[in-house]
Structure 1
Protein backbone atom coordinates (compact mmCIF):
# COMPACT_ATOMS: atom_id res chain seq x y z
CA UNK A 1 0.00 0.00 0.00
CA UNK A 2 2.85 2.39 0.84
CA UNK A 3 5.46 0.99 -1.56
CA UNK A 4 5.11 3.70 -4.21
CA UNK A 5 6.72 6.96 -3.13
CA UNK A 6 4.29 9.72 -4.18
CA UNK A 7 6.62 12.71 -4.03
CA UNK A 8 9.31 14.14 -6.27
CA UNK A 9 12.88 14.59 -5.06
CA UNK A 10 15.82 16.64 -6.33
CA UNK A 11 18.86 14.56 -7.17
CA UNK A 12 22.40 15.68 -8.00
CA UNK A 13 24.83 13.75 -10.18
CA UNK A 14 28.53 14.57 -10.02
CA UNK A 15 30.16 14.21 -13.41
CA UNK A 16 32.37 15.61 -16.17
CA UNK A 17 31.04 18.93 -17.46
CA UNK A 18 30.76 17.59 -21.02
CA UNK A 19 28.57 14.71 -19.73
CA UNK A 20 26.37 17.20 -17.91
CA UNK A 21 25.93 19.31 -21.03
CA UNK A 22 25.24 16.23 -23.14
CA UNK A 23 22.38 15.17 -20.88
CA UNK A 24 20.97 18.69 -20.79
CA UNK A 25 20.83 18.70 -24.59
CA UNK A 26 19.99 15.00 -25.05
CA UNK A 27 18.05 13.99 -21.91
CA UNK A 28 17.15 10.53 -23.18
CA UNK A 29 20.78 9.41 -23.34
CA UNK A 30 20.83 8.25 -19.71
CA UNK A 31 24.17 7.32 -18.13
CA UNK A 32 23.75 3.83 -16.66
CA UNK A 33 26.42 2.60 -14.26
CA UNK A 34 27.07 -1.15 -14.32
CA UNK A 35 30.20 -1.43 -12.20
CA UNK A 36 30.35 -4.65 -10.14
CA UNK A 37 31.06 -2.57 -7.02
CA UNK A 38 28.18 -0.06 -7.31
CA UNK A 39 26.51 0.40 -3.96
CA UNK A 40 22.89 -0.01 -5.08
CA UNK A 41 23.20 -2.07 -8.24
CA UNK A 42 22.87 -0.97 -11.86
CA UNK A 43 21.36 2.39 -12.77
CA UNK A 44 21.97 6.13 -12.81
CA UNK A 45 23.14 7.50 -9.49
CA UNK A 46 22.14 10.65 -7.65
CA UNK A 47 22.85 12.22 -4.28
CA UNK A 48 19.44 13.07 -2.85
CA UNK A 49 19.12 16.83 -2.16
CA UNK A 50 22.90 17.07 -1.73
CA UNK A 51 24.56 19.34 -4.28
CA UNK A 52 27.69 19.80 -2.14
CA UNK A 53 28.33 16.05 -1.89
CA UNK A 54 27.89 15.59 -5.65
CA UNK A 55 30.40 18.38 -6.34
CA UNK A 56 32.86 16.98 -3.80
CA UNK A 57 32.63 13.56 -5.47
CA UNK A 58 33.35 15.11 -8.87
CA UNK A 59 36.31 17.07 -7.49
CA UNK A 60 37.73 13.91 -5.92
CA UNK A 61 37.47 12.22 -9.32
CA UNK A 62 39.47 15.11 -10.79
CA UNK A 63 42.22 14.52 -8.23
CA UNK A 64 42.32 10.89 -9.36
CA UNK A 65 42.62 11.95 -12.99
CA UNK A 66 39.20 10.56 -13.99
CA UNK A 67 37.51 13.93 -14.56
CA UNK A 68 38.93 17.10 -16.12
CA UNK A 69 36.12 19.56 -15.43
CA UNK A 70 34.08 18.57 -12.35
CA UNK A 71 30.44 19.53 -12.59
CA UNK A 72 27.01 18.72 -11.19
CA UNK A 73 23.83 17.78 -13.03
CA UNK A 74 20.49 18.28 -11.32
CA UNK A 75 17.44 16.08 -11.86
CA UNK A 76 13.79 15.97 -10.83
CA UNK A 77 13.05 12.38 -9.88
CA UNK A 78 9.90 10.45 -9.01
CA UNK A 79 10.99 7.43 -6.96
CA UNK A 80 7.98 5.38 -8.04
CA UNK A 81 8.08 1.77 -6.85
CA UNK A 82 11.18 2.11 -4.72
CA UNK A 83 13.31 -0.52 -3.01
CA UNK A 84 13.98 1.83 -0.12
CA UNK A 85 16.54 0.57 2.37
CA UNK A 86 15.44 3.28 4.78
CA UNK A 87 12.28 1.14 5.14
CA UNK A 88 12.63 -1.96 7.34
CA UNK A 89 10.48 -3.95 4.89
CA UNK A 90 13.19 -3.79 2.24
CA UNK A 91 15.99 -4.61 4.64
CA UNK A 92 14.13 -7.86 5.36
CA UNK A 93 13.64 -8.36 1.62
CA UNK A 94 17.33 -8.01 0.79
CA UNK A 95 18.20 -10.38 3.66
CA UNK A 96 15.97 -12.98 2.01
CA UNK A 97 17.66 -12.48 -1.36
CA UNK A 98 21.12 -12.63 0.25
CA UNK A 99 20.27 -16.13 1.47
CA UNK A 100 18.97 -17.02 -2.00
CA UNK A 101 22.14 -15.65 -3.62
CA UNK A 102 24.40 -17.45 -1.15
CA UNK A 103 22.61 -20.76 -1.69
CA UNK A 104 22.86 -20.37 -5.48
CA UNK A 105 26.57 -19.55 -5.26
CA UNK A 106 27.19 -22.68 -3.20
CA UNK A 107 25.30 -24.83 -5.72
CA UNK A 108 27.30 -23.39 -8.62
CA UNK A 109 30.55 -23.55 -6.70
CA UNK A 110 31.07 -19.79 -7.05
CA UNK A 111 32.94 -17.75 -4.48
CA UNK A 112 30.76 -15.20 -2.75
CA UNK A 113 31.81 -11.61 -3.62
CA UNK A 114 33.08 -9.41 -0.82
CA UNK A 115 32.86 -5.72 -0.03
CA UNK A 116 36.36 -4.28 0.00
CA UNK A 117 38.29 -1.23 1.13
CA UNK A 118 40.43 0.79 -1.25
CA UNK A 119 44.01 1.49 -0.12
CA UNK A 120 43.57 5.27 -0.43
CA UNK A 121 40.59 5.39 1.97
CA UNK A 122 41.78 6.06 5.55
CA UNK A 123 38.26 5.57 6.94
CA UNK A 124 37.88 1.98 5.70
CA UNK A 125 34.37 2.57 4.40
CA UNK A 126 34.42 -0.47 2.08
CA UNK A 127 33.98 1.71 -0.98
CA UNK A 128 33.92 -1.32 -3.29
CA UNK A 129 30.52 -2.89 -2.57
CA UNK A 130 30.82 -6.02 -4.72
CA UNK A 131 28.73 -8.16 -2.39
CA UNK A 132 25.96 -5.60 -1.96
CA UNK A 133 25.79 -4.99 -5.71
CA UNK A 134 25.67 -8.70 -6.53
CA UNK A 135 22.88 -9.39 -4.03
CA UNK A 136 20.81 -6.41 -5.22
CA UNK A 137 21.20 -7.42 -8.86
CA UNK A 138 20.28 -11.01 -7.93
CA UNK A 139 17.10 -9.65 -6.34
CA UNK A 140 16.19 -7.63 -9.43
CA UNK A 141 16.90 -10.60 -11.72
CA UNK A 142 14.75 -13.00 -9.70
CA UNK A 143 11.87 -10.52 -9.59
CA UNK A 144 12.15 -9.99 -13.35
CA UNK A 145 12.17 -13.73 -14.03
CA UNK A 146 9.06 -14.29 -11.91
CA UNK A 147 7.35 -11.34 -13.60
CA UNK A 148 8.06 -12.85 -17.03
CA UNK A 149 6.72 -16.25 -15.97
CA UNK A 150 3.43 -14.71 -14.83
CA UNK A 151 3.14 -12.67 -18.03
CA UNK A 152 3.69 -15.77 -20.18
CA UNK A 153 1.21 -17.81 -18.14
CA UNK A 154 -1.56 -15.29 -17.45
CA UNK A 155 -0.95 -12.37 -19.80
CA UNK A 156 -0.50 -10.10 -16.80
CA UNK A 157 1.35 -10.08 -13.50
CA UNK A 158 0.85 -8.81 -9.96
CA UNK A 159 4.64 -8.67 -9.57
CA UNK A 160 6.28 -5.26 -9.90
CA UNK A 161 9.85 -4.51 -10.89
CA UNK A 162 11.55 -1.79 -8.87
CA UNK A 163 11.90 1.62 -10.52
CA UNK A 164 14.52 2.91 -8.09
CA UNK A 165 16.71 1.81 -5.22
CA UNK A 166 17.51 4.10 -2.29
CA UNK A 167 19.84 3.86 0.70
CA UNK A 168 21.42 5.92 3.45
CA UNK A 169 25.17 5.63 3.99
CA UNK A 170 27.47 6.78 6.76
CA UNK A 171 30.80 7.59 5.16
CA UNK A 172 33.95 9.50 6.00
CA UNK A 173 35.46 10.26 9.37
CA UNK A 174 33.55 11.68 12.37
CA UNK A 175 32.35 15.26 11.83
CA UNK A 176 34.10 16.19 15.08
CA UNK A 177 35.84 14.39 17.92
CA UNK A 178 33.55 11.79 19.47
CA UNK A 179 30.77 12.48 16.98
CA UNK A 180 28.20 10.00 15.75
CA UNK A 181 27.82 12.17 12.64
CA UNK A 182 30.11 11.56 9.69
CA UNK A 183 31.57 13.96 7.13
CA UNK A 184 30.24 12.24 4.02
CA UNK A 185 26.95 10.75 5.20
CA UNK A 186 24.33 10.90 2.48
CA UNK A 187 21.25 9.40 0.86
CA UNK A 188 21.91 7.82 -2.50
CA UNK A 189 19.35 7.02 -5.19
CA UNK A 190 19.87 4.59 -8.06
CA UNK A 191 17.37 5.02 -10.89
CA UNK A 192 16.71 1.83 -12.86
CA UNK A 193 13.62 2.99 -14.75
CA UNK A 194 14.70 6.10 -16.68
CA UNK A 195 11.06 7.24 -16.90
CA UNK A 196 11.39 8.21 -13.24
CA UNK A 197 13.73 11.03 -14.27
CA UNK A 198 11.32 13.80 -15.22
CA UNK A 199 13.96 16.26 -16.34
CA UNK A 200 17.53 17.51 -15.97
CA UNK A 201 18.73 21.00 -15.10
CA UNK A 202 21.92 22.92 -14.50
CA UNK A 203 21.95 23.94 -10.82
CA UNK A 204 21.95 27.71 -10.38
CA UNK A 205 23.64 29.82 -7.71
CA UNK A 206 21.55 31.13 -4.86
CA UNK A 207 20.86 34.87 -4.86
CA UNK A 208 20.22 37.12 -1.91
CA UNK A 209 16.55 37.39 -0.95
CA UNK A 210 14.89 39.72 -0.30
CA UNK A 211 16.76 42.24 -2.37
CA UNK A 212 16.81 45.78 -1.09
CA UNK A 213 16.67 48.40 -3.82
CA UNK A 214 18.53 51.56 -2.93
CA UNK A 215 16.69 54.83 -3.44
CA UNK A 216 18.21 58.23 -4.07
Structure 2
Protein backbone atom coordinates (compact mmCIF):
# COMPACT_ATOMS: atom_id res chain seq x y z
CA UNK A 1 0.00 0.00 0.00
CA UNK A 2 2.85 2.41 0.84
CA UNK A 3 5.39 1.18 -1.72
CA UNK A 4 4.35 3.87 -4.22
CA UNK A 5 6.68 6.74 -3.42
CA UNK A 6 4.66 9.96 -3.81
CA UNK A 7 7.44 12.29 -4.85
CA UNK A 8 9.70 12.99 -7.78
CA UNK A 9 13.39 12.47 -7.09
CA UNK A 10 16.42 13.69 -8.98
CA UNK A 11 18.65 10.98 -10.35
CA UNK A 12 22.06 11.32 -11.95
CA UNK A 13 23.39 8.92 -14.57
CA UNK A 14 27.07 8.80 -15.48
CA UNK A 15 27.70 8.06 -19.16
CA UNK A 16 29.88 8.67 -22.20
CA UNK A 17 29.48 12.04 -23.91
CA UNK A 18 27.99 10.36 -27.02
CA UNK A 19 25.19 8.80 -24.94
CA UNK A 20 24.69 12.10 -23.09
CA UNK A 21 24.23 14.00 -26.36
CA UNK A 22 22.02 11.34 -27.99
CA UNK A 23 19.65 11.17 -25.00
CA UNK A 24 19.39 14.95 -24.61
CA UNK A 25 18.66 15.34 -28.33
CA UNK A 26 15.91 12.70 -28.14
CA UNK A 27 17.66 10.35 -30.58
CA UNK A 28 18.13 7.62 -27.98
CA UNK A 29 16.89 6.50 -24.60
CA UNK A 30 19.10 5.20 -21.83
CA UNK A 31 19.53 1.44 -22.04
CA UNK A 32 18.74 -1.03 -19.28
CA UNK A 33 21.80 -2.55 -17.66
CA UNK A 34 21.61 -6.35 -17.42
CA UNK A 35 24.95 -7.24 -15.87
CA UNK A 36 25.03 -10.25 -13.54
CA UNK A 37 26.65 -8.05 -10.87
CA UNK A 38 24.25 -5.06 -10.95
CA UNK A 39 23.31 -4.39 -7.33
CA UNK A 40 19.60 -3.87 -7.88
CA UNK A 41 19.05 -6.27 -10.77
CA UNK A 42 18.24 -5.14 -14.30
CA UNK A 43 17.39 -1.49 -14.83
CA UNK A 44 18.57 1.97 -15.80
CA UNK A 45 20.84 3.08 -12.98
CA UNK A 46 20.88 6.47 -11.25
CA UNK A 47 22.50 7.94 -8.17
CA UNK A 48 19.70 9.54 -6.16
CA UNK A 49 20.37 13.26 -5.58
CA UNK A 50 24.12 12.65 -5.82
CA UNK A 51 25.63 14.59 -8.69
CA UNK A 52 29.16 14.34 -7.29
CA UNK A 53 29.13 10.52 -7.09
CA UNK A 54 27.79 10.30 -10.65
CA UNK A 55 30.64 12.59 -11.78
CA UNK A 56 33.21 10.39 -10.03
CA UNK A 57 31.83 7.31 -11.74
CA UNK A 58 31.65 8.90 -15.21
CA UNK A 59 35.20 10.24 -14.95
CA UNK A 60 36.59 6.93 -13.71
CA UNK A 61 34.99 5.06 -16.64
CA UNK A 62 35.26 7.59 -19.48
CA UNK A 63 37.90 10.13 -18.32
CA UNK A 64 37.41 13.44 -20.20
CA UNK A 65 34.53 11.92 -22.21
CA UNK A 66 32.50 11.27 -19.05
CA UNK A 67 29.27 13.22 -18.59
CA UNK A 68 26.39 13.26 -16.11
CA UNK A 69 22.80 13.27 -17.22
CA UNK A 70 20.17 14.47 -14.75
CA UNK A 71 16.67 12.98 -14.67
CA UNK A 72 13.38 13.65 -12.90
CA UNK A 73 12.15 10.25 -11.68
CA UNK A 74 8.82 9.03 -10.37
CA UNK A 75 9.77 5.69 -8.81
CA UNK A 76 6.24 4.33 -9.10
CA UNK A 77 5.74 0.91 -7.50
CA UNK A 78 9.17 0.68 -5.91
CA UNK A 79 11.06 -2.24 -4.40
CA UNK A 80 12.53 0.05 -1.74
CA UNK A 81 15.27 -1.80 0.12
CA UNK A 82 15.34 0.92 2.79
CA UNK A 83 11.79 -0.07 3.81
CA UNK A 84 11.01 -3.06 6.03
CA UNK A 85 8.34 -4.03 3.48
CA UNK A 86 11.13 -5.36 1.23
CA UNK A 87 12.63 -7.86 3.69
CA UNK A 88 10.12 -10.74 3.26
CA UNK A 89 10.05 -10.10 -0.50
CA UNK A 90 13.84 -10.40 -0.68
CA UNK A 91 13.75 -13.60 1.40
CA UNK A 92 11.24 -15.07 -1.07
CA UNK A 93 13.55 -14.05 -3.92
CA UNK A 94 16.43 -15.87 -2.23
CA UNK A 95 14.34 -19.02 -1.64
CA UNK A 96 13.25 -18.95 -5.30
CA UNK A 97 16.87 -18.58 -6.43
CA UNK A 98 18.06 -21.33 -4.09
CA UNK A 99 15.42 -23.74 -5.43
CA UNK A 100 16.18 -22.86 -9.08
CA UNK A 101 19.92 -23.42 -8.56
CA UNK A 102 19.26 -26.72 -6.80
CA UNK A 103 16.98 -27.95 -9.61
CA UNK A 104 19.56 -26.94 -12.24
CA UNK A 105 22.38 -28.37 -10.09
CA UNK A 106 24.39 -25.16 -10.28
CA UNK A 107 25.99 -23.22 -7.43
CA UNK A 108 24.37 -20.10 -6.04
CA UNK A 109 25.91 -16.90 -7.37
CA UNK A 110 28.28 -15.17 -4.96
CA UNK A 111 29.06 -11.56 -4.25
CA UNK A 112 32.72 -10.81 -4.89
CA UNK A 113 34.25 -10.28 -1.50
CA UNK A 114 36.54 -7.41 -2.47
CA UNK A 115 36.95 -4.25 -0.46
CA UNK A 116 33.86 -2.53 -1.86
CA UNK A 117 31.77 -5.61 -2.74
CA UNK A 118 31.16 -4.00 -6.12
CA UNK A 119 30.35 -7.24 -7.94
CA UNK A 120 27.11 -8.31 -6.32
CA UNK A 121 26.10 -11.34 -8.36
CA UNK A 122 24.12 -12.90 -5.50
CA UNK A 123 22.21 -9.70 -4.72
CA UNK A 124 21.41 -9.22 -8.41
CA UNK A 125 20.15 -12.80 -8.72
CA UNK A 126 17.94 -12.42 -5.62
CA UNK A 127 16.31 -9.25 -6.93
CA UNK A 128 15.91 -10.79 -10.39
CA UNK A 129 14.18 -13.69 -8.63
CA UNK A 130 11.83 -11.22 -6.93
CA UNK A 131 10.87 -9.84 -10.35
CA UNK A 132 10.29 -13.39 -11.69
CA UNK A 133 8.07 -14.25 -8.71
CA UNK A 134 5.97 -11.12 -9.30
CA UNK A 135 5.50 -12.17 -12.91
CA UNK A 136 4.74 -15.84 -12.14
CA UNK A 137 2.16 -14.87 -9.50
CA UNK A 138 0.44 -12.35 -11.77
CA UNK A 139 1.37 -9.50 -9.41
CA UNK A 140 2.17 -6.03 -10.71
CA UNK A 141 5.83 -5.62 -11.64
CA UNK A 142 8.03 -3.26 -9.70
CA UNK A 143 8.69 -0.08 -11.66
CA UNK A 144 11.97 0.54 -9.85
CA UNK A 145 14.26 -0.69 -7.11
CA UNK A 146 16.03 1.57 -4.63
CA UNK A 147 18.76 0.77 -2.12
CA UNK A 148 21.35 2.31 0.15
CA UNK A 149 24.89 1.11 -0.47
CA UNK A 150 27.97 1.50 1.67
CA UNK A 151 31.01 1.93 -0.54
CA UNK A 152 34.56 3.21 -0.23
CA UNK A 153 36.94 3.64 2.65
CA UNK A 154 35.79 4.23 6.21
CA UNK A 155 36.02 7.92 7.12
CA UNK A 156 37.72 6.96 10.42
CA UNK A 157 39.19 3.83 11.93
CA UNK A 158 36.39 1.70 13.34
CA UNK A 159 33.66 3.84 11.75
CA UNK A 160 30.95 2.37 9.56
CA UNK A 161 30.56 5.72 7.78
CA UNK A 162 31.98 5.23 4.30
CA UNK A 163 33.35 7.77 1.79
CA UNK A 164 31.05 6.78 -1.09
CA UNK A 165 27.83 5.75 0.64
CA UNK A 166 24.94 6.49 -1.70
CA UNK A 167 21.36 5.69 -2.62
CA UNK A 168 21.06 3.98 -5.97
CA UNK A 169 17.99 3.53 -8.14
CA UNK A 170 17.38 1.00 -10.91
CA UNK A 171 14.47 2.06 -13.10
CA UNK A 172 12.77 -0.90 -14.76
CA UNK A 173 9.82 0.97 -16.24
CA UNK A 174 11.18 3.70 -18.54
CA UNK A 175 7.92 5.65 -18.08
CA UNK A 176 9.23 6.49 -14.59
CA UNK A 177 11.75 8.81 -16.25
CA UNK A 178 9.78 12.03 -16.62
CA UNK A 179 12.52 14.06 -18.27
CA UNK A 180 16.25 14.64 -18.63
CA UNK A 181 18.29 17.74 -17.90
CA UNK A 182 21.84 19.03 -17.86
CA UNK A 183 22.78 19.40 -14.17
CA UNK A 184 23.65 22.92 -13.07
CA UNK A 185 26.62 23.71 -10.87
CA UNK A 186 26.19 25.61 -7.62
CA UNK A 187 26.26 29.37 -8.10
CA UNK A 188 28.98 30.38 -5.59
CA UNK A 189 28.23 34.11 -6.11
CA UNK A 190 24.75 33.84 -4.64
CA UNK A 191 24.68 35.29 -1.15
CA UNK A 192 22.24 33.83 1.31
CA UNK A 193 20.42 36.29 3.58
Task: State the TM-score, normalizing by the size of structure 2.
Answer: 0.93
Q: CA deviation at 1:83?
A: 0.2
Aligned: 1:167 with 2:147: yes
1:125 aligned residue (94, 116, 129): 116
Aligned: 1:209 with 2:190: yes
Q: Which runs of 4+ in 1 moved over 6 A?
A: none
Match in the other structure for 2:4: 4
Match in the other structure for 1:150: none
CA separation in 1, counterparts of 2:106 and 2:122?
A: 13
Does the 8 Å contact 1:40/1:190 carry over to 2? Answer: yes
| Structure 1 unaligned blocks of 5 or more | 119-123, 148-158, 212-216
Larger gyration radius, structure 1 or structure 2? 1
CA separation in 1, counterparts of 2:16 and 2:173?
A: 23
Match in the other structure for 1:156: none
Aligned: 1:177 with 2:187: no
Aligned: 1:136 with 2:117: no
Which whole-Å deviations, capped at 9, do the CAs of 1:146-181 have from their partners, x for residues lacking one? 22xxxxxxxxxxx21100000000111112334331
CA separation in 1, counterparts of 2:80 and 2:121?
A: 19
Aligned pair count reads 191
Does the 8 Å contact 2:81/2:146 carry over to 1? Answer: yes
Aligned-residue RMSD, C-alpha:
1.6
Task: State the TM-score, normalizing by the size of structure 1.
Answer: 0.83
Q: CA deviation at 1:90?
A: 0.2
CA separation in 2, counterparts of 1:142 and 1:96?
A: 8
| Structure 2 unaligned blocks of 5 or more | none
Match in the other structure for 2:16: 16
Match in the other structure for 1:95: 91
